[in-house]
Structure 1
Amino acid sequence: MSGLQGLAQENIWFDKSRYDEAERCFYEGRNGVPQTSQVKTSLQGSKGHTRSQKPRERKTSQNASKSEDQSELASRFKSLELDNKNLHKVVDDLRATLSKLESRMATLEKGQSPASKSVTVTKAAPVQKPKVEKHNGADDDDDIDLFGSDEEDEEAERIKAERVKEYSQRKAKKPVLIAKSSILLDVKPWDDETDMSKLEGCVRSIQMDGLLWGASKLVPVGYGIKKLQINCVVEDDKVGTDILEEEITKYEDYVQSVDIAAFNKI
Structure 2
Amino acid sequence: MKVEALDKFWADKSRYALAEKQFYEGPQKIDGVTLDDGSKSALAQRLSQLEGENKDLKSQVSSLSQLLNAVVKRLDTVEAQLKLTNGVSKQPVAEAKKPEASDKDDDDDVDLFGSESEEEDGEAARIREERLAAYAAKKAKKVQIIAKSNIILDVKPWDDETDLKVMETEIRKITQDGLLWGASKFVPVAFGIQKLSISCVVEDDKVSIDWLTEEIEKLEDFVQSVDIAAFNKI
Task: Choose between structure 1 and 2: higher strand proportion.
Answer: 2
SS in 1 for 2:165: helix
Q: State the match for 2:67 in structure 1.
A: none
From 181, 186, 198, give the equivalent of 1:213. Answer: 181
CA distance in 2, matches of 1:222, 1:137: 105
From 136, 151, 155, give the equivalent of 1:168. Answer: 136
Q: Deviations over 1:110-166 (max 9, x none)?
A: xxxxxxxxxxxxxxxxxxxxxxxxx63166343374995331122112111121122
CA distance in 1, matches of 2:121, 2:233: 50
Give unmatched runs, 5+ long, in structure 1: 1-134
From 181, 193, 205, give the equivalent of 1:225. Answer: 193
SS in 2 for 1:149: helix
Between the aligned residues of both structures, percent identity stands at: 61
Q: State the match for 1:140 in structure 2.
A: 82
Q: State the match for 1:248 in structure 2.
A: 216
Instruction: Please report the TM-score for the alignment, with normalisation by the length of structure 1.
Output: 0.46
Q: Determine which structure has greater relative contact order: mean sequence separation of CA pairs < 8 Å that are 6+ residues apart, divided by chain length.
A: 2
What count of residue pairs does the alignment treat as equivalent? 133
CA distance in 1, matches of 2:150, 2:113: 67
Letter in 2 for 1:262: A
CA distance in 1, matches of 2:124, 2:117: 13
Q: State the match for 1:82 in structure 2.
A: none
Q: State the match for 2:68 in structure 1.
A: none
SS in 2 for 1:203: helix
From 190, 208, 226, give the equivalent of 1:258. Answer: 226
SS in 1 for 2:180: strand
The correspondence of residues 1-266 of structure 1 with structure 2, limited to 5 A, is: 136-137=78-79, 140-143=82-85, 145=113, 148-266=116-234
Instruction: Please report the TM-score for the alignment, with normalisation by the length of structure 2.
Output: 0.52
